[in-house]
């Protein structure tokens, strides 16, 4: 009497491959401003998983640094944390010096630090305007300057990436200073990308849309607001910091060697499919 053969044992499902960035970045050194939370932390983590040497800039919450460093080291990278205020040029220079002292060189500079106050023109004050512009625009301007000078001094090509926003050219009434600062970053990338091209230095903006970061914490905590936001995004959901980080690492890599003086948008289609927020 024949027996029905037992079904074959299914092959084990392989574990997903670790998420890593472009091979060409391994061993290179990256400075990320505002890097111990949100998109900055995601960039730092992915850079570490790529095998980069990471300089984490922060101004607050030092307790977040060691867990982030531990995660980067466990993923195969190296990392240090340096407290520096991006509104002060001497602090920006200290980030360059720390990178060179620790790892011998600087290869990628990411202007990520940013803030918003969500005030209209009629509501704003000089103090709050300066706060937004100093971090979002001045910090990026002089961060790029100190990085470019280092690239030139060490005789190497380098990359400057500005984490901008879809609001560099998409109006957001009630958040005027922020939009003005990000609009400035758009022209900054174009102009400085052209200025520095002869030195082999590339400048690229990465412009996120709605991303799950501390800035959007209140929106995500409100079921009605997050539902409305998700429905306004053609992709159907808010983005994750890691999805921005992967684009930042790509544009910083040799695989994007012909990209400069431009902006790459990472927004799930929101600026094309929605009337606005």
pLDDT of residue 217: 86
pLDDT of residue 125: 98
pLDDT of residue 216: 87
Is 178 a catalytic site residue? yes
pLDDT of residue 255: 97
Q: Which residues of 117-155 are buried (b: 16+ CB within 10 A; e: fewer)?
A: eebeeeeeeeeebebbbbbbbbbbbbbbbbbbebbeeee
pLDDT of residue 214: 85
- Calculate mean pLDDT across residues 246-255: 98
- Calculate mean pLDDT across residues 236-251: 97
Residue 105, classed as helix, strand or coil, is: coil
Of the pLDDT bands very low, low, confident and very high (cuts 50, 70, 90), residue 215 is confident
pLDDT of residue 10: 45
Cβ atoms of 68 and 56 closer than 8 Å: yes
Indicate if the pLDDT at residue 17 is higher than 70.
Answer: no
pLDDT of residue 274: 53
Choose, from 58, 103, 141, 178, the residue flagged as catalytic.
Answer: 178
- Calculate mean pLDDT across residues 70-82: 97
Residue 192, classed as helix, strand or coil, is: helix
Residues 21-46 pLDDT 10s: 899 999 999 999 999 999 999 999 99
Provide φ and ψ at 109, rounded to 5°: -120, 125
pLDDT of residue 225: 93
- Calculate mean pLDDT across residues 182-186: 98
Cβ atoms of 271 and 232 closer than 8 Å: no
Indicate if the pLDDT at residue 7 is higher than 60.
Answer: no
Of the pLDDT bands very low, low, confident and very high (cuts 50, 70, 90), residue 145 is very high
Domains and CATH numbers, the chain: 23-270 (3.40.50.720)
Indicate if the pLDDT at residue 154 is higher than 80.
Answer: yes
Chain mean pLDDT for the chain: 93
pLDDT of residue 194: 98
Of the pLDDT bands very low, low, confident and very high (cuts 50, 70, 90), residue 246 is very high
pLDDT of residue 273: 78
Indicate if the pLDDT at residue 20 is higher than 90.
Answer: no
């Amino acid at each position: 009497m024949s027996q029905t053969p037992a079904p074959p044992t299914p092959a084990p499902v392989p574990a997903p491959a670790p998420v890593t960035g472009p091979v060409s970045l391994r061993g290179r050194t990256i400075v990320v401003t505002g890097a111990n939370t949100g998109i900055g932390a995601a960039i730092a983590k992915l850079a570490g998983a790529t095998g980069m040497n990471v300089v984490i800039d922060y101004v607050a919450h030092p307790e977040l640094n060691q867990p982030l460093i531990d995660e980067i080291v466990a993923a195969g990278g190296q990392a240090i944390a340096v407290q520096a205020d991006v509104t002060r040029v001497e602090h920006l220079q200290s980030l360059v010096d720390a990178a060179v002292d620790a790892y011998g060189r600087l290869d990628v500079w990411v202007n990520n630090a940013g803030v918003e106050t969500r005030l209209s023109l009629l509501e704003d004050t000089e103090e709050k305007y300066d706060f937004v512009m100093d971090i979002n625009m001045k910090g990026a301007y002089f961060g790029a300057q100190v990085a470019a000078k280092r690239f030139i001094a060490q005789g190497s090509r380098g990359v400057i990436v500005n984490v901008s926003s879809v609001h560099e050219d998409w109006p957001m009434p009630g958040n005027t200073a922020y939009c003005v600062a990000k609009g400035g970053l758009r022209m900054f990338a174009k102009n400085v990308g052209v200025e520095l091209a002869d030195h082999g230095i590339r400048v690229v903006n990465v412009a996120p849309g709605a991303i799950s970061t501390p800035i959007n914490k209140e929106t995500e905590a409100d079921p009605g607001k997050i539902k409305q936001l998700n429905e306004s995004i053609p992709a159907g959901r808010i983005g994750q910091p890691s999805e921005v980080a992967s684009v930042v690492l790509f544009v910083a890599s040799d695989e994007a060697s012909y990209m400069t003086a431009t902006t790459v948008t990472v927004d799930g289609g929101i600026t094309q499919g929605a009337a606005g927020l």
